[in-house]
Amino acid sequence: MADLTLLTPELTLVGTGLVVLLIGLFLNTNTKKILGYLASLGVLASLVLVIMSLGREGMLFNDTLSFDALSQFFKLVFLSVALLVSIASIKYTEGNSHTEEFYSLMIFATAGMMFVASANDLMVLFVAFELASLATYALAGFEKKNPISLEASMKYFMIGSLSAALMLFGISFIYGATGTTSIPGVAANIDILLGSPMGLLSVVLMIAGLGFKIALVPFHMWAPDTYQGSPSVVSSLLAAGSKKMGFVAAFKVFMIALIALQAEWTTAFAVLAVITMTLGNVVALSQTSVKRMLAYSSVAQAGYITMAFVVMSKTALAGAILYALSHGFMKAGAFIATAAVVYMVLSEKKDSETPDDIDNFRGLGRRMPVTALCMTIFLFALAGIPLTAGYMSKFVLFASTIEAGLVWLAVIAILNSAISLFYYARVVKYMYFLPSDGEKIAEPMPYTFAMLIAVIFVLAIGFWSEPFLYWAMEAAKVLI
């Protein structure tokens, strides 16, 4: 029973979600703002508990849940993103009568992500995936009177359902061949899948199912519409949190359960990585919606992280895992900054249909100086400018790719990073070098506070990367 203390962060988070939902029933709309602070406190408590449990290992419930360096690292990623989103949402949900539902769904989605990180069984992984997914489907359509939000939610739900079906189909083939859904058990009984059509079909189905979650090309079609149509704070959770859930699941499925089938999936991931990073960056060049640009940027970033499945070295995996953390702060911060701009635009023109249009960023350096500065740091970090988290993550990942002899793959990734600098710099040009007719406005404190937290970690990982890289290396050892 003592081992149940390993579940304390998850239990704390779920308890917070239930408490927020219950208390919200007894508050009127004007006093529901307190729920945002309560939710943020619960997420912070869960984050602290995970940090306190670093170094502890164990199994629970017949070895269906594993607690190790990999699971704990990704829980830190999910909770960090959830904390930023929770703080920023204090302003977004202000005056909303459904505040308790918003925070409860966000918290339950995060809990699902945490269970995916700990899953040591394919069925547990699938159920945890669906817990997170169902909550995010509802969050994407949270603005019920906004047809664009409803469209985003519906597209996300339809594609997500297809993804779940493909993943479950793949799991059924794996179970039929190996007689188990335990991830280590599958790895130990994989012989029957070697060289068989069933093995190849299992790999294809799992790549497709997880590819939708990660938003790899050609499984990415839902991401731009969903990220653009969802509330900006929800887009932050999807891009910075939900996508990483897909990666930790893929790490467990392919690098542990299906490692014996590496010959079947390595080439596929190499092709997907190149196509994903290239198409994401090229299409992002022509976007005028900043949220849509960030969505395609997120697709491209997924392509970079996927390189780890091709290189398959401890350093490459550590780079990919560190990239997941860095991208969480960079992308969450960028979407929250966009949320602040959307708030500014809607406060002046309530009927604006494109509040995230790049034209609305004109003169932002004068109108919202803190938001503009933070956005600049996030964009340059995403581009991989030195002394930022993005640079360190790309350096480790790209260097390990070259070290493995895959120079061609590293060159393609570096060229794509150079392409991305154009559309990131364009936003900075609008913010600082183009005039605006608007006056300076007061920047909402919740958005500003969340952005400043993200900036601190983006710069900390860039300036002082040793401890973060050490934690990423420890997490990579679980896989190799």
Which pLDDT tens digit goes with each residue over 261-290?
Answer: 888 899 999 999 999 999 999 999 999 999
pLDDT of residue 177: 87
pLDDT of residue 63: 86
Alpha-carbon distance values, 442 to 88, 340, 364, 382 (Å): 15, 11, 12, 27
3-state class (DSSP) for residue 66: strand
pLDDT of residue 9: 93
Alpha-carbon distance values, 160 to 156, 157, 248, 250, 371 (Å): 6, 5, 17, 16, 33
pLDDT digits (tens, 9 = 90+) for 85-105: 999 999 998 888 889 999 999
pLDDT of residue 3: 75
pLDDT of residue 193: 81
pLDDT of residue 30: 85
pLDDT of residue 352: 78
Region of residue 313 (phi > 0: left; psi between -120 and 50: alpha; otherwise: beta)? beta
462-471: Cβ within 8 A, 24+ apart? 462/381, 462/386, 462/387, 462/388, 462/389, 462/390, 462/391, 462/392, 463/387, 465/322, 465/392, 468/322, 468/325, 468/392, 469/318, 469/322, 469/392, 469/396, 471/54, 471/69, 471/73
Tell me the C-alpha distance between 293 and 256, whole Å. Answer: 34
pLDDT of residue 349: 82
pLDDT of residue 1: 46
Q: Which residue has the tokens 């605006």?
A: 436
Tell me the C-alpha distance between 398 and 308, whole Å. Answer: 9
pLDDT of residue 4: 80
pLDDT of residue 451: 95
147: number of Cβ within 10 Å: 10
Torsion, CA 430, CA 285, CA 89, CA 162, rounded to 10? 170
3-state class (DSSP) for residue 60: strand
Round to the nearest angstrom and report the end-to-end CA distance of the chain: 30
Residue stretches of the chain with pLDDT short of 70: 1-2
Tell me the C-alpha distance between 90 and 217, whole Å. Answer: 34
pLDDT of residue 55: 85
**Residue type for position 296:** Y
Q: Which residue has the tokens 């002394």?
A: 387
